[in-house]
Structure 1
Amino acid sequence: MVSEESSAYLQKVYSAKDNRELEEAYDLWAGKYDEHVTAFGYQIPAVAAGLLGKHVTPETTPILDAGAGTGLMGAVLDALGYQGQVGVDISAGMLKKARERNIYTDLHQMILGEKLDFPSDHFGACQAIGVFTAGHAPASAFDELVRVVRPGGYIIFSLLEDIYAPKGYKEKFETLGNNGKWQLTEKTKKFPGLPLEDPDLFHRVYVYRVC
């Protein structure tokens, strides 16, 4: 059941003015995050897992969980047989919860939009669920995600529809495509990511193949 408390946490992360505020907000939310987003009817992980399963085999390793949070998406992939997951997140509190799941080979505190401390062409695939939304990771983060995923690997991510053009994602996607960095494989129709909290807040899930 959606509560005033859970809605307040959501608004706090959406309204963060900088990475420090975002980190602090998620540190505070970490203990109740899973409970709250379940009450929201959070369905983005299910949609993303379906697409990842179409394009990425369980033998693909390692897989980057960019914006791992408490490991909700990682747990779905683990249940489907995907091993060798490496998670990064801005929040130490969220990473502590993810570590308790014992499904990641490594977890690191990193910020999407800054340089990632991984070699180029390191990952076989990447998924980034719930991080390209209001007040979160910028469009510039895709430069690093493309860099660290091997050619032929897939990047699967969700994006809040309202910020696609206004926040530079449309331009970034087109630039990466025109520069031969990646190619669109598939995208969903828009759907409510948190239907029990805000049925008018639409997302899409995208699949891009790194070139």
Structure 2
Amino acid sequence: MSGRHMDARHNYNLRRTMTPKQIADMFNDFADDYEEDTKVLGLCSHLRIGEYMAETYPEHLRAALQVLDVGAGTGYVGETLSELGFKRIDALDPAQKMLDVAKTKKVYRRLICAFLNKNRIDEIETDQYDCITTAGAFNEGLIPVSAFQEMIRIVKPVLNTMTVDDATKDDDVVRMMPSSHKPDAGCLARLTDLLLVV
């Protein structure tokens, strides 16, 4: 295992002073070791997301749903969703080398190399996705609260967002934020209160 910012890989407090470029560099350097490292840690957030998505969306609807996997990394969530019948999955991640690994899994339609933050991602249309998933990306130095505005823009009026952060098989940390309407910018504070991240 080698690369830049190695100490910050699992010590999120060290990420507070890192720039977005440094974060992307860390994950680019980590891409080849990422899956082995997360298996050793026993992380299974991708499985929890799969369980939730399977419970939420009936099997006959899954192939048509457009899903954005935010912080897709090497494709754990995409693989899990594909096995469950979700076929229109796009990946978003700021580390190109992580996306290069994800591409080999052949479960994503598009791979978008960008940070999710307050800025508009031009490759993504307004109301393009039915659902956004993310595993472990609401940690220090990754997705900021200001990104909720962009998340609201890119999902269709019925918002289903699901996040699991660093779950292990023994944790019960699934937190979901379903909403029957698309909140406007004035609802952003309430939206961030509803999405519980551990």
Q: Tell me the TM-score range normalised by the shorter chain.
A: 0.7 to 0.9
Which stretches of structure 1, 4 residues or longer, exceed 4 Å deviation after superposition? none
Larger proportion of strand: 1
Instruction: Summarize deviations over 1:128-155 as a string: whole Å, max 9, x none.
Output: 1110012211011111111111012411
Look up the equivalent residue of 1:150 and give its one-letter code: K
In structure 1, what is the equivalent of residue 140 of structure 2?
Answer: 134
- Matched with 1:26 is 27
Structure 1: tracts of 5 or more residues without a match: 160-191
| Equivalent-residue separation in structure 2 for 1:75 and 1:14 (angstroms) | 30
For each residue in 1:157-184, what CA deviation from the matched residue of structure 2 results, as whole angstroms up to 9, or x when unmatched? 135xxxxxxxxxxxxxxxxxxxxxxxxx
- Structure 2's unaligned 5+ residue stretches are 183-198
Write the distance in 2 (CA, Å) between the matches of 1:14 and 1:91.
20
Change (3 A) 1:62 1:79: same
Partner residue in 2 for 1:88: 92
**Cα RMSD over matched residues?**
2.6
Q: How many equivalent pairs are there? A: 171
Query: Would the aligned equivalents of 1:92 and 1:109 in 2 still touch at CA under 8 Å?
Result: yes
1:193 aligns with 2:164: no
Paired position in structure 1 for 2:79 = 75
CA 14–104 in structure 1, closer or farther in 2 if over 3 Å, else same? farther
Matched, 1:115 2:116: no
| TM-score in terms of structure 1 length | 0.72
Match in the other structure for 2:192: none
Percent sequence identity over matched residues? 20
Displacement of 1:193:
2.0
Query: 1:128/1:76 Cα in 2 relative to 1: closer, same or farther (>3 Å)?
Result: same
Matched, 1:205 2:179: no
1:9, CA displacement in angstroms?
6.1
